[in-house]
Amino acid sequence: MIEWDTIAAIATPRGEGGIGIVRASGPLAISIACQIFRSPRRISPQKLPTHTLNYGHIVDPSSGAVIDEIMLGIMRAPKSYTAEDVVEFNCHGGIVPLRHVLELTLQAGARLAEPGEFTKRAFLNGRLDLAQAEAVADLIRSKTDLSRQVAMEGLAGKLSQAVNTLSDRLADLLAEVEASIDFPEEDLDFMGFTPMRHTAQDILDDLDGLIATASDGKLLREGINIAILGRPNVGKSSLLNTLLQEERAIVTEIPGTTRDTIEEHLNLRGIPLKLIDTAGIRRPSNLVEQQGVERSKAYLDRADLILMMFDASQPFTAEDRELLGAAKARKSILILNKIDLPAVTSPEDLCISAPLKPIVQISLLHGKGVEALKSAILQEVLEGEVVLGDSPIVTNVRHHDALRRARLALVHAMESLVQEMPAEFVAVDLRSSLDCLGEIVGKTTTEDILGRIFSQFCIGK
Ligand SMILES: Nc1nc2c(ncn2[C@@H]2O[C@H](COP(=O)(O)OP(=O)(O)OP(=O)(O)O)[C@@H](O)[C@H]2O)c(=O)[nH]1
Ligand SMILES: [Mg+2]
């Protein structure tokens, strides 16, 4: 274990709650507890057994003032979150007592933790590999149960195991190649180029299998942005409210009700979505409206999926045609709303301008067609369904990038094998592929990359 200073932070969210936790980790953690914690029977925290929760008070050592009534959790190294001595002061959950207790831990010798620093120590102390540490952040941020499940599998080491297995196979192959460099004349039990190529191909296939899961993975981790666009009054805000099952946006019969964009998160059968209601697109009559319309139009490029809405009870206009034109090049679903009213615009009118787009007819007033719309959305974003199987899912952009680079280096190695180049060339590429895989689990990672990863965590984790 590496020797560190002792860090402390408030580990629970800011705000009022039943309990709030100040956590300290490092060699001084228990001595800090000794300075500021009093149990009724005056037992020193040094003597308290590990993994126990103990009743007592936080007392300011300089004044003797009682600050809070708490439960003290003690987890001694190495069986703790950070693999160091950890103490957790379970205080009353208000920001004032928590700040006071944190302040006392700092006076008693701790340093304020940086974001993610507890988890970083767990990684540096070898309790988690890097992919597992990143899964902790994914778990905290997960927005649907499916995302949570994938993050939990990552934390349990499912991806790490797959990557380590691939690394082992690559390392074996590399050893063979290197043996042929070191002892070229000897009659070693040397695999020869063709079997090596087959081995490399097998590894490549498995690498590809892992890379192929990344698009579903990104979806589960980050969700997708869906913008609702259309002329004023077609029912965009009504659709947002219907999908959220809550009166989130103001709906009126006056065109131009929504002036600014409204963003809300939605869980659609396990897939996290960000739904964006926009201002109706028309020729703006004043500055505020102009800005709203510009914002709406910006979503034409920014959204992952566009729900382009039309009003079946109104004539199909030149503006509608323009919108259809804009939606054509993007992933989009056309929605014909208000089919409860006498039809003026038909699906065929939409079809003429954008022949290949899915069209869903709905009536938000009667709640008709909404399920079909949900299915259409999932069809567009998933092109099927995300099913969690036995193989891990790559959810992290950093992992995806490292896998792609590992693949590229392996392909180069295979090309050298095919051309029967000197074994040194093959070895260089295999080693580079191995390094890329090592980045995922943190075997070959720079301080710079670590800094970037852990700075994205919350303080106290
Ligand atoms: N008859 C009928 N009326 C609807 C339907 N959906 C929405 N409306 C009505 O259409 C009007 C406009 O709805 P909104 O949801 O505010 O429309 P919007 O597209 O957000 O409008 P802006 O924010 O002005 O761009 C409201 O009076 C709704 O009640 C529907 O399916 N049938
Ligand atoms: Mg609106």
The domain defined by 221-382 carries CATH number 3.40.50.300: yes
Q: Which two tokens stand for residue 161?
A: 């195991």
C-alpha distances (whole Å) from 384 to each of 11, 375, 402 are: 39, 10, 27
CATH code 1.20.120.430 region(s) in the chain: 133-213+392-454
Give residue 337 CA to ligand 1 midpoint distance, Å: 9
Q: How confident is the model at residue 179 (pLDDT cuts 50, 70, 90)?
A: confident
Task: Supply the mean pLDDT for the chain.
Answer: 91
**Residue 329 has what pLDDT?**
85
Which atom of ligand 1 sits closest to the CA of residue 251? 16
* Dihedral pair phi/psi, residue 88, rounded to 5°: -130, 120
Cβ of 235 closer than 6 Å to ligand 1, yes or no, is yes
Percent of the chain past pLDDT 70, that is, above it, reads: 96
Q: Which residues contact 241 (CB under 8 A, 6 or more apart)?
A: 247, 248, 249, 251
Note residues around ion ligand 2 (Cβ under 5 angstroms).
236-237, 257-258
pLDDT, position 1: 44
338: CA distance to ligand 1 center in Å? 8
Testing ligand 1's pocket by substitution, the residue of 243, 247, 248, 257 carrying the most ligand atoms inside 8 A of its CB is 257
> Could you tell me the distance, in angstroms and rounded to a whole number, from the CA of residue 420 to the centre of ligand 2?
65
* Least confident range of 66-70, 308-312, 396-400: 396-400
Q: What predicted TM-score, i.e. pTM, was given to this entire model? A: 0.74
Q: What is the pLDDT of residues 38-48, one digit of tens each?
A: 999 999 999 99
- The finding on whether 236 has its CB within 6 A of some atom of ligand 1 is yes
Residue 327's contacts (CB-CB under 8 Å, 6 or more residues apart) are 229, 300, 306, 308, 334, 354, 357
The correct CATH number of 7-113 out of 3.40.50.150, 1.10.3720.10, 3.10.20.30, 3.30.1360.120 is 3.30.1360.120
Res. 108: pLDDT tops 90: yes
Contact between 150 and 221 (Cβ < 8 Å): yes
Question: Does residue 363 line the site of ligand 1, with CB under 6 A?
Answer: yes
pLDDT of residue 258: 93
pLDDT in tens, 114-135: 999 999 999 999 999 999 999 9
Nearest C-alpha neighbor of 458 from the set 119, 102, 121 = 119
Answer for the pair 10, 19: CB distance below 8 angstroms, yes or no.
no
Q: What is the pLDDT of residues 77-94, one digit of tens each?
A: 999 999 999 999 999 999
Q: What confidence tens digit (pLDDT) does each residue in 277-325 have?
A: 999 998 878 888 888 888 888 998 889 899 999 999 999 998 899 889 8
Rg (CA), the chain: 29
Share of the chain above pLDDT 90, in %: 68
* pLDDT for residue 285: 81
- Compute the distance from residue 156 Cα to the ligand 1 centre, in Å: 47
Atom 1 in ligand 1: which residue has the minimum CA distance? 338
d(CA 229, CA 323): 9
Mean local confidence (pLDDT), 45-61: 97
Question: Could you tell me which residues come within 8 angstroms of residue 334 by beta carbon, excluding any fewer than 6 positions away?
Answer: 308, 310, 324, 327, 350, 354, 357, 358, 359, 360
Least confident of 190-194, 222-226, 258-262, 441-445: 190-194
- The tokens for 20 are 């709030």
What DSSP character marks residue 102?
H
Q: Is the distance from CB of 91 to CB of 20 less than 8 angstroms?
A: yes
Out of 97-111, 313-327, 413-427, give the one with best mean pLDDT: 97-111
Closest CA to 20 of 97, 113, 91, 101: 91
CATH number listed for the domain at residues 133-213+392-454: 1.20.120.430
The crossing angle, in degrees rounded to 10, of helices 397-418 and 130-141 is 140
- Do 250 and 329 meet the contact criterion of CB atoms below 8 Å apart? no
Task: Check whether the bond before 255 is cis (ω within 30° of 0).
Answer: no
**Residue of higher predicted confidence among 370 and 268:** 370
Q: Assign 265 to helix, strand or coil.
A: strand
Please, what's the b/e burial string for 291-313 (b: 16 or more CB within 10 A of its CB; e: otherwise)? ebbebbbebbeebbbbbbbbbbe
What pLDDT score does 237 carry? 97
**Would the CB of 132 count as within 6 Å of ligand 1?**
no
Distance, in Å, from the CA atom of 461 to the CA atom of 23, rounded to the nearest integer, reads 9
Dist. CA 313 → ligand 2 center (Å): 17
Q: Cα dist. 95→16, 20, 221, 290, 360 in Å?
A: 7, 8, 31, 43, 50
Q: CA 418 to CA 413: how far, in whole Å?
A: 9
Any idea of the CA torsion for 89, 90, 91, 95, to the nearest 10 degrees? Answer: 90
105 lines ligand 1 (CB under 6 A): no
Question: Where do the CATH 3.30.1360.120 domains begin and end in the chain?
Answer: 7-113
Q: Does position 203 have pLDDT exceeding 90, yes or no?
A: yes
Q: Which amino acid is it at 395?
A: T
Q: Long-range contacts of range 158-162, CB-CB < 8 Å, 24 or more positions apart?
A: 158/392, 159/131, 159/135, 159/392, 159/393, 159/394, 159/399, 159/440, 160/129, 160/131, 160/132, 160/440, 160/441, 161/392, 162/210, 162/391, 162/392
| More confident site: 39 or 380 | 39
Cβ count near 225 (within 10 Å): 16
Mean pLDDT value of segment 201-219: 90
Compute the distance between CA of residue 309 and CA of residue 119 in angstroms, rounded to an integer: 46
In the chain, which residues fall in CATH 3.40.50.300? 221-382
- pLDDT at position 334, please? 96
CA of 379 to the centre of ligand 1 (A): 26
